Chains A and B, each alone.
Chain A
């Protein structure tokens, strides 16, 4: 942006949503789950740093900041601590309850909750439907919280329409599904033209975990899903961002996205040993949450190599994993038993007999999985000895 254009900016906002603090990732093992769960907190620091770097006037947090209305204290305490570390007297932060963490009596958003007491006074919880807050440079924020996990009322309907001769910059913040999202009817449906009809210059929304313009033709005024700042699943499109919103004197909002995520979720399917070896050579796996589907049938020596590579990717008690978080699907990894005996000719007779027996067992579809694995164990243990 040019200096002139910079001068033309009268309001800077950072828009984020869907932190999902406390979310569990139970399909992963305990250690990986802890990494991914902790990542929710870690990304909050990067979000707040981005707000400082862009010198924004306000930070809009558009719902689902916690994964449930009553998360464990470690989550809301850490969120409060991260806010409390800063002294943003002139940079208000607005926390909006979403459908995952609706504003209900027993939630952490309740006024008597300790979380509220821990928050600095410049962190504001949107705890009423007629929430209105004056922002700098003749701007105003309207926000409407979710008060239940499901609902069919468009929250933007609670935002007052722009009155005649009202020249203020009007910002809206709600949480829900726009009409173009599946099953939006009961998830606080938001009209795609809500910003226009409400007379808003920018509508900050949350729910979808990928960064998205609504509607996609990007007509002004923009309605934006910033997405989850740290991805939560493999099937999310463009997660890991916050939206930086610059509003000029003509009340036009310019939106750029800023990546804040540490983890990149990736799915890979390898069908050859070479592809697996190539994957093993990658240097960016440390920050990856990798779902690896291995589908190949290998001879015993190759199988052992593949096992070694997979062990390297996955890590052991003695070796750090190459992949940050690995979700390994090895159902398709098969030992080729048709010629396994040819690799065992140097073994004692008794072991060769065992190999022949196990190979015969592997022909039985019922016994095949165990027999293949047993053959591999025999091969591997005997090789270790040999080596």
Chain B
């Protein structure tokens, strides 16, 4: 720490004083009671006394009612400048403290105020004085061992020799001393390790023990690397998540699409199966119907055949009966013949037996009777013939009636068939209508679809136009942006071209850092004093800054520099004085050479003055480049959007082209609808739902099948009707023929004749009458015979018997003939009926009918069994197909969208990148941990070394004792040696060089002057080690000139390294008379290494007042130390 300026106002005896200190030895001289000690007090007040404390009340000006004010400007070891302003007093707005901070020593800014000022200053000083307040806070004037050492009051020797760090209220003073004196206290090997650890810790940690996080910190670099990688990884992981999500979605959608396809296939297969079952069932039904029809037809034929067979059997039976009857007739005829022969014989016998006359008469009567019998026989034959004819006619009539009945039956069948046919025709018509309706429905649906497609096409064309227009707008916007980008890029390129590359910039920045480091390694502090013997032109450059250009410098001039001073002395010589070791300087020179060769041209080319500015320019260009990249991305996005829109327009156009329907085609489709009410079709179409086409097609197929089935049934019925018509016609024709035969028979009977039945009955009666007359005649003949003789009688009886026999025979014959005729009539009727039926059967073609039945059976047998299928089943299956189709379309659309999205993601590339960045992040984090562990290790080592050192007694006393004892020996000409200080710097003892170990008691035995000298030596040595200012207020007042001269030398040397402020009333102890300022307030000597200040000119006391306070200064309170 160094003081640079002190301003005091209204402070005890001083009205105002303003002192600017030099960096080295400052000798402030003046007579007693001028206020020198007051200034020392003011310094202590500025650094240690709170404005409102009790101690502050002693600062009150003696001769004015004013607020004491002190302002002290100082710099710390870190190069920071501070200014503390304090206005002392118990209250009021004018009192208080403030601390200002500056990096350059000229521009100060408020750092803190009030109580924080004391905290901050005590932390900066690290003198073992805790912050005010609290349990450990000092009361009264705060003090400590170091405060006494550095700002100790006049002649306060005991505060140095009798006290130590042990009395300090906190350990900061000891820590600071420990740090400062460590190099003096350590074993060389310990020091080596300690230095190594300290070096590493200094690189890694701040003074407060935190890890350095500045730009050049390796933690920062490693942390930034980790942070960058983590940010990159986060971004990549977001991309990956998006990519993975979309990939997963695509895969899931592919799977779902496959499943939907499977489900659609299953539904379609189920629908096909159901439809197949339905078709098969219907086919089986149709085949069964056809078989039934064929079987019916065959049954009709077989019934007819059975009937024919039955009739044939009846005919056979009747034929047999006719044969029996005819045999009966034959036998009757034979009997008749035999009876006639018997009659004839008997008559012959009778005629013989009777006379000629009588015989003749009887003959005549017998002839008459014979003639009558013959006539009766003729009449009987005629009657019998008529009876036969009448029976035939009656049989014909019966046949006609039967045929007519058959015709009626056939006509009834025809009517039934006609009814069925009409029904079938109706069904066929209905089926055709349904078919037509479904065709119309399909046509309507297609027309509607075409219309809708046409409308969609038109909309798509509109969308395409809109998309294309938007695409062109975006494209134009992108083109404009890209044009702007090109302009910006050209500008950036132009600006970037004059700047070095990033690597070069890094290299230059590194060079600058290296140069700074190297210069820093040179150490700091250079003082060059120029004392011209004659006036000469001096040009000086101090630390690269021109200092003076004096054409005729005649007086001494001191140049203070950190690194280098360049002097140009007239035209004679240029002098360059550089601080630091030779090898370090060479390094600096090399770096400077590189600087001149590399950086200066680069900066000139870049038109900037510093690397920072150049880096800023590069960063600015990088930022602008990023902006350009962003704009480029925007343009690319616009282009991409435009491309998407364009592609979409193309798709829309393709869709429009695909959907476009020719008007003629549309009209054709409309015409195909036919005349069916479109509203009805629309209603029906809507009821079919989305999959109307498949449903309508299925419906059309169904109606078509129904139509075919109806037509097939109609054809069968028509065929059956034709067969029935044939049968009816044949029966009617047969009936007609029979009727004709009947009519002919009636005609043959003549007009007005009774009906044949009556005639037949009459004929039968005639025949019976004839038979009776024949029997009478036969009896007459027999009577004639009885008129003859016995023989005649026997002959007559014979004749009678023969006649009876004959009559009986004839009667039997007649009955037999009648029976035969009846049988024949029955036979003929049956034959007629049979022949009619047979003709019908022959016309029926049973073989074909049977073959048709066989074919139908085969067909039916060949048809597979199928479960029963209802329309609901079909509708259900169709609905499932529709649902599956809809689902598949949805999945396809989703998949299409996801596939589109898939093309926008990173895919495997980003997956790879994530893995690599993750590896890099792991490695970077590991490196960061390694750095931290290594730094922690060094810090732990350093802390351990310190702890051990403290605890092992490698203490401060040993560190300081050596140099102090050496100097004390020099000062006392070897009389005293082996000064011992304890670990807390309490002075323990000193040995007397005579060989007698005086021990601690010797200290008590030292003279006041020697004690003062020893205390001063200790103070100066500590200040020297701490490299901080020391204020000596009228010390060494008991020293002789020789020792004073020795001390002056010591102080001058010390002042080369640290600031020494001496208040003295005896300037000659330090200066020759010629060195005093001649009428000036101050004078710098030895190139500024020594500053002499005339207090008389610096301090303004209250006008006309004495040098003592008007009132006694307040006594210190108990427990307060006096400064």
Residues of A within 8 A of B (CB): 24-28, 68, 99-100, 105-106, 147-152, 177, 183, 185-187, 207, 233, 327, 329-331, 347-351, 353-354, 357-358, 361, 367, 369-374, 376-378, 381-382, 385-386
Contact = CB atoms under 8 A, between A and B. Distances in A.
A105 B910 contact: no
B933 A373 contact: yes
A149 B640 contact: no
30 contacts: A24-B916, A25-B916, A25-B920, A26-B916, A26-B924, A27-B919, A28-B923, A148-B903, A150-B247, A150-B903, A150-B905, A151-B899, A152-B899, A152-B902, A186-B247, A348-B190, A350-B190, A351-B187, A351-B945, A353-B951, A354-B948, A357-B944, A369-B936, A373-B934, A377-B197, A377-B938, A381-B193, A382-B189, A385-B192, A385-B193
Nearest to B642: A105
Given A186-B247, A350-B190, A357-B944, A331 B908 contact: no
| 10 pairs of A and B residues whose beta carbons are closest in the complex | A150-B907, A373-B937, A26-B920, A148-B903, A27-B920, A370-B936, A374-B941, A374-B937, A27-B923, A186-B247
Contacts of A186: 247, 250-251, 902, 907-908
Contacts of B917: 26
A369 B936 CA distance: 9
Contacts of B190: 348, 350-351
Contacts of A331: 926
Given A354-B945, A374-B937, A185 B250 contact: yes
A207 B923 CA distance: 26
B650 to A, nearest CB: 16
Contacts of B920: 25-27
Given A183-B247, A353-B952, A358-B944, 11 more contacts: A26-B924, A106-B632, A148-B903, A149-B908, A150-B907, A152-B899, A187-B908, A367-B940, A373-B937, A374-B937, A374-B938
A27 B922 CA distance: 8
B643 interface: yes
Interface in B897-950: 899, 902-912, 916-917, 919-920, 922-924, 926, 930, 933-934, 936-941, 944-945, 947-949
B85 to A, nearest CB: 45
Given A105-B640, A150-B907, A370 B189 contact: no
A354 B196 contact: no
Contact of B907 (A187, A358, A377): A187
B250 A377 contact: no
A377 B243 CA distance: 49
A347 B944 contact: no
B916 A361 contact: no
Contacts of A99: 907-909
Interface of B: 186-190, 192-193, 196-197, 200, 229, 243, 246-247, 250-251, 254, 632, 636, 639-640, 643, 899, 902-912, 916-917, 919-920, 922-924, 926, 930, 933-934, 936-941, 944-945, 947-949, 951-952, 954
Nearest to B922: A27
Instruction: Give the interface SS of chain B, mostly helix, strand, loop or mixed.
Output: helix
Contacts of A25: 916, 920
Given A27-B922, A106-B636, A151 B903 contact: yes
B905 A357 contact: no
Given A151-B902, A152-B254, A26 B940 contact: no
B183 to A, nearest CB: 14
Nearest to A349: B952
Contacts, number: 156
Nearest to A357: B944
**Of B251, B907, B911, most A-chain CB atoms within 10 Å:** B907
Contact of A149 (B643, B910, B924): B910
Contacts of A151: 899, 902-903, 907
Contact of B941 (A177, A347, A358): A358
Contacts of B949: 350
Contact of A353 (B246, B938, B940, B948): B948
B906 A370 contact: no
A177 B907 CA distance: 12
Given A152-B254, A350-B952, A381-B192, A374 B902 contact: no
A105 B912 CA distance: 23
A149 B909 contact: yes
Contacts of A349: 952
B915 to A, nearest CB: 9
A185 B193 contact: no
A384 to B, nearest CB: 8
Given A152-B254, A348-B189, A348-B190, A377 B941 contact: yes
Contacts of B200: 377
Nearest to B243: A150
A319 to B, nearest CB: 20
Residue with the highest number of chain B CB atoms closer than 10 Å, among A26, A357, A372: A26
Contacts of A27: 916, 919-920, 922-924
B193 A351 contact: yes
Contacts of B916: 24-27, 233
A381 B632 CA distance: 56
Nearest to B932: A370
Contacts of A358: 940-941, 944
A348 B954 CA distance: 12
Nearest to A234: B919
A376 B243 CA distance: 48
Given A106-B636, A367-B940, A357 B933 contact: no
A370 B240 CA distance: 38
B643 A378 contact: no
B209 to A, nearest CB: 14
From A100, A233, A353, A370, residue with most partner B Cβ within 10 Å: A370
A24 B228 CA distance: 14
A186 B907 CA distance: 7
B93 to A, nearest CB: 53
A26 B944 contact: no
Nearest to A153: B899
Nearest to B192: A385
A354 B934 contact: no
Contacts of B954: 350
A31 B965 CA distance: 56
